[in-house]
Amino acid sequence: MAVVVFRGGTVRIDGHQPDVDRLVVVDGTIAESWHPVPDDAEHVDLEGGLLLPAFGDGHAHPLLAGRERRGPELRDAASVAEIVARVGAWAPRSEAPWLVGGSYDATIVPGGMFDARWLDEAVPDRPVVLHAWDYHTAWVNTAALREAGVDADTPDPPLGRIVRRDDGSPLGTLVERPAIDLVLDRAPHAVVAADVEALVWAGEQLAARGISWVQEAWTEAHDVPAWVTAARSGRLRVDADLALRAEPTRWPAQLAELRRTADAVAGEPGLTCRTVKFFVDGIIENHTAHLLECYHDAETRGLPNWQPEHLRDAVAACDAAGFDVHLHAIGDAAVRAAIDAAEGIADSLRRGRRLTIAHAQVVDPADLPRLADLEVTFCFQPQWAMADAVMTDLTLPRLGPGRERQYRMRAAQAAGARLSFGSDWPVTSPDVLAGIRTAVTRQDPDGAPTGGWQPDERLTVDDALDAATSGVAFQAGDQDHRGALRSGMTADLVWLDRDIRRGPADRIADARIRGTWRRGVRTF
């Protein structure tokens, strides 16, 4: 038997039981006690630090993050000229017929609308597709538009938008996946071997941040072979559940295909495929999030991907087919539709089916009391709950007065929702400690504003830790095995160099991850 003894620090069992000063792991499982400890047991001195259940990431995109790394580094580029220069320097180093990368900061151009001709200066002869940081918008060059046959006569696809110049010709910015796919569907799919390396790298990044399980929140059928190959190789450092994307234009015929894809993954080591992902709407910054009332700066309520009655039927069909459901819902109308769909399978939720509403950026106050009778998880991205440039320059001007209240973590918890945390990586960093700090302070990394942005929505450190551990485990349906350090549970562990519950909240992110274990095996 492999026995590991952790001592010399503080062990947080969960948010309800008293801390202890020692933990024993036997063959990857937490043991209540083990006497006598064998001579060949491994001893880990916590050196005064804190041992916790390993973190989970309830909403991330590791494959996108790994793919993004293969392209030019654009995220910190501060101007169009800087982006163009980096793309121009990157292009000669790639022999790919299409150059696909990301992700650029949409706030550096007013309104977030980018011109294809700017990219033409760097690469005039090969198609270029760059994802914005939100992955709901893409910037393409003229060669990409030409290759895809997108011109002034091309109509907007259902549920997507081609941004146009005054003469009707495409500007070079495509909004939402149906419009982006007009171009990307012409590009070759990524090579499986390259995607495997992307996943291995992504798993290393997650493990280094104390994460042992991740909800891959957007999987296409052609992505699955890379995940399976990576899992079989034994090189993945995290366990993962793949959420297959439901397409409204292919529904309900698509459901049988999703079931076949999921069944093919069954039994793969550390990998499940038990969830269907719905993009109920888009995002506020490009006016595609679905709102109950018009945007403050545009005569539109957004671009819903699913009408409420269709969403309710589709979620019920997924439940009947044995799937959990993961719903991207940003606007208050989309969140209402998601809650409506949850009510349609309320009996299944009480029996253990999982329905997660991710983001829940704007929630109408009238909908909060409805959560009391539903076993619904709200998966928040806590790093978004601050007044950063995206919030002040794009989001708040779109919403206008009266809809400033966003990411209402404490209100949702008080109303009865389960809370989990996700990063939405690569949209934001997978740094769980940074997310906990933001959830507790509602401040940016510089400590602004004093007292926090919408401070009544701040969480306690213990509540934030629960959201990052037991909350994610509940979302995954794994609460009996993960998310706490009780006897008989899987030894998914993270070791911090300090007890973040004891120091100043604004220093939480300064703590260091000293070690991560998945199923008793050290991954970092």
Fold of 192-510: TIM Barrel (3.20.20)
- Coil/strand/helix, residue 444: coil
CATH of domain 97-184: 3.10.310.70
Residue 70 has pLDDT above 90, yes or no: no
For the chain, what percent of residues have pLDDT higher than 70?
Answer: 100
Using CA atoms in the order 25, 26, 32, 38, what is the torsion angle rounded to 10 degrees?
-100
pTM over cut 0.75: yes
Confidence of residue 332 (pLDDT cuts 50, 70, 90): very high
- Using CA atoms, how far apart are residues 373 and 160, in angstroms rounded to an integer? 35
Position 111 confidence tier, pLDDT thresholds 50, 70, 90? confident
Residue 189: pLDDT band (50, 70, 90) is: confident
pLDDT score of 124: 96
| 178: Cβ contacts below 8 Å, ≥ 6 apart | 157, 158, 159, 160, 249
* pLDDT band at residue 35 under the 50/70/90 scheme: confident
Burial 342-375 (b: 16+ CB within 10 A, else e): bebbeebbeeebbbbbbbbbbbbeebbebbeebb
**6 neighbors 22 (Cβ within 8 angstroms):** yes
User: At 122, which amino acid appears?
Assistant: A
- Give first-to-last CA distance, the chain, whole Å: 22
Residue 134 scores a pLDDT above 90? no
Average pLDDT, the chain: 96
- What are the extents of the domains in the chain? 97-184, 192-510
Neighbours of 22 (CB within 10 A): 13
The mean per-residue pLDDT over the stretch 394-414 comes to 95
Mean pLDDT, range 170-199, rounded to an integer? 94
pLDDT, tens digit, for every residue of 224-234? 999 999 999 99
pLDDT at 71 over 90: no
Reduced to 3 states, what is the DSSP secondary structure of residue 121? Answer: coil
Residue 465 predicted with pLDDT over 90 = yes
Angstrom distance (rounded) from CA 299 to CA 400: 13
Residue 126 scores a pLDDT above 90: yes
* Closest among 327, 271, 418, 285 to 59, alpha carbons compared: 327
Query: What is the structure's pLDDT at 330?
Result: 98
Note the pLDDT of residue 421: 98
- Euclidean distance between CA atoms 402 and 449, whole angstroms: 20
